[in-house]
Structure 1
Amino acid sequence: MKGQDNGKSGGGALESSRRFAFAMRALSRTPVSLSYQNRDLLYEWAENLPAGIELADVLGNTDADFLPRLAAERLRATKLHVIETREPQRFELPVNIGGEVRWFDIWIDPDLEPSGSAMGVYSTIIDISAQKRREVQLKNLLREVSHRSRNLLAIVLSLASQTARSANSIPGFVTAFSGRLQAIARAQDLVTDRDWQGALLSDLISRQIALFHRDNALPVELKGDDLVVSPNAALYVGLAIHELASNAVRNGQLYPGDGAIHVAFSVESRSDGGRNLVVKWTERLGAGTTAHEIEPLTRKFLESVVPLAVDGMGELAVNGSRVDYALRIDGNHIT
């Protein structure tokens, strides 16, 4: 049979010894442990024990002598069942070894005498701790995705409702809602690119303005402390920049001309020991141009909806040929 000495290869016992030595070396490169216990469940031999368990602590002892009580009791009960029924068993077991919880996939097989009775048990143990950690990470990620998806749906529904109430026509609603939906989508793309950790402020602003300016150089100057904002803040800051950029288009901005738009961001300290991220939009129109009045829904977004979502404040001012907006974002939204 394959893997067994058929007596025809040269060397006899020496060849078998070499094969065994190679098998043990190969075993040492795997997370697999092998052991044998007699009917009294005393260990008679063991190979490639899990890290943190010494051979001297195992040989001549039972599981209760070197493992935590609950794990040892589970192993003892299963092994006694295998000896009694002569049926192999497989199960997973968490074990605290050196202060770290490790997971093991365990096979217990009976060592049968010619008469059919079991005179001991063989154990094959595979350390699956890394696999378990990946499973936990995946479950946490799926939970996070589900949570954020529900939040995103709530935001989209709110946008649809508020845009519909302020629209004068169906085409007007479609245009306004589509633009806001694209703004949310672009912010979400940035959050996803950073593994749900947030979005870089400069990327967030540039992406939103690019919706209106296509492939041309952006006529917007960005300056300040470029930080990463939380996923939730990214969506709402993106929406605020979209509203400001959309209003700038109505004023004839975002195209080469006499006007200028500056966006500055900085961190300021608060009297309570906290801090705020301050984003300032300054829009100066060309000579002889007067800024349009801000649409009511845009003003609501900028002064109420967005500041509430980032636990901050929003101040909007239109003065002749100038539009100023300052958004203060609570420091808890800086990652």
Structure 2
Amino acid sequence: MEVEHDFEHVGRRIMLINGRRLDHLDLILLAIRDVTEQRRMEKERETRVGELHHRIKNVLTTVDALVRRTLRDSGSLEEFGRAFESRLGAMARTQDLLVRAPRGSVDMSEILRLELQAHGGREGGNFNLDGPAIALPQDAVQAFAMAVHELTTNAVKHGAFASHEGRVEIRWTLEAGEEGATLVMFRWRERCPIIISPSRTGYGTSVLEAAFRHTLKGSSRLTLHPDGAEFSAEFQV
């Protein structure tokens, strides 16, 4: 029998009581064991398993969306393979950040830095980050990371990372939003000749719109200048 009781000096404890009657005697042998810590660890393990199942389900849903949309926007199997491998790599890097992050939140600059460096970026060289520390919650990390991946790969193909003189300037500031929320003002500015102007709206544009307008509950805007592209967004954290 398991019993919970508030003890005067040690607080609430969970006790496991086992009893049996001694043979041929009108006596009962009782064994009492404190299982409070064991039950706490079991509950914590159940919570972690539940979180893991939720995360796996979200990852599989995202991978399924990646496959479908990348396949739809690819002109050949080779093009699909390259694009999907790149996006899957971005997902893997983000999941690694989430696994190592305390309490499931990740600093926004860490996401930017990791993705830019994965594509040959050199901080202080061809890219620069300027903004306060912002801890993105777990449900926002993947969306923001995939948006950054699309911006970075576009810079590799058409913008700043496609030329030796190109540079990406990334800045963000914080403002007070509605109902006590914090509003992030994000700006991605490329300084370079635009190598190729994208001829159609593809998966990358859809990812940017979905990330900032839907998942992050904000807005975004892409502007092409003679000396490079500018992407700006506002979202709440």
TM-score, with normalisation over the residues of structure 1? 0.64
Moved over 6 A (4+): 214-217
Q: Offset at 1:183?
A: 0.9
Counterparts of residues 116-265 of structure 1 (less than 5 Å): 116-118=24-26, 120-195=27-102, 197-213=104-120, 219-254=126-161, 257-265=164-172
- Bigger radius of gyration among the two: 1
Q: 1:321 aligns with which of 227, 232, 237?
A: 227
Check 1:97–1:325 CA distance in 2 against 1; reply closer, same or farther (3 A cut): farther
Check 1:272–1:108 CA distance in 2 against 1; reply closer, same or farther (3 A cut): closer
Q: 2:205 aligns with which of 271, 279, 299?
A: 299
Aligned length: 234
Q: Offset at 1:217?
A: 7.3
What is the SS of the residue equivalent to 1:318?
strand
Q: Could you report, residue by residue, the CA deviation over 1:309-334 in whole angstroms, capped at 9, with x for unpaired residues? A: 12222222112222111232322xxx
Q: Distance in 2 between matches of 1:220 and 1:254?
A: 9
What is the SS of the residue equivalent to 1:213?
coil
User: Does the 8 A contact of 2:159 with 2:194 survive in 1?
Assistant: no
Identity of aligned residues (%): 22
Q: Distance in 1 between matches of 2:171 and 2:155?
A: 17
Q: Distance in 1 between matches of 2:111 and 2:224?
A: 24
Check 1:293–1:303 CA distance in 2 against 1; reply closer, same or farther (3 A cut): farther
Pairing 1:270–2:177 present: yes
Q: Distance in 1 between matches of 2:33 and 2:133?
A: 47
Pairing 1:105–2:16 present: yes
Q: Distance in 2 between matches of 1:241 and 1:191?
A: 16
Q: Distance in 1 between matches of 2:71 and 2:169?
A: 31
Q: Offset at 1:105?
A: 2.0
The residue number in structure 2 matching 1:94 is 4
Q: Distance in 1 between matches of 2:176 and 2:104?
A: 24
RMSD: 2.5
User: Does the 8 A contact of 1:218 with 1:254 survive in 2?
Assistant: no
Q: Offset at 1:249?
A: 0.8
What is the SS of the residue equivalent to 2:171?
strand
Check 1:220–1:323 CA distance in 2 against 1; reply closer, same or farther (3 A cut): same
TM-score, with normalisation over the residues of structure 2? 0.88
In the alignment, structure 2 segments of 5+ residues that lack a partner are: none
Q: Offset at 1:92?
A: 2.9
Q: 1:281 aligns with which of 152, 169, 188?
A: 188
In the alignment, structure 1 segments of 5+ residues that lack a partner are: 1-90
User: Does the 8 A contact of 2:171 with 2:188 survive in 1?
Assistant: yes
What is the SS of the residue equivalent to 1:183?
helix
User: Does the 8 A contact of 2:159 with 2:195 survive in 1?
Assistant: no
Q: Offset at 1:168?
A: 0.6
Q: Distance in 2 between matches of 1:200 and 1:224?
A: 11
Q: Distance in 1 between matches of 2:129 and 2:211?
A: 24
Q: Could you report, residue by residue, the CA deviation over 1:154-211 in whole angstroms, capped at 9, with x for unpaired residues? A: 1111111111111111111111111111111111110110145121211111111122
Query: One-letter code of the match for 1:92?
Result: E
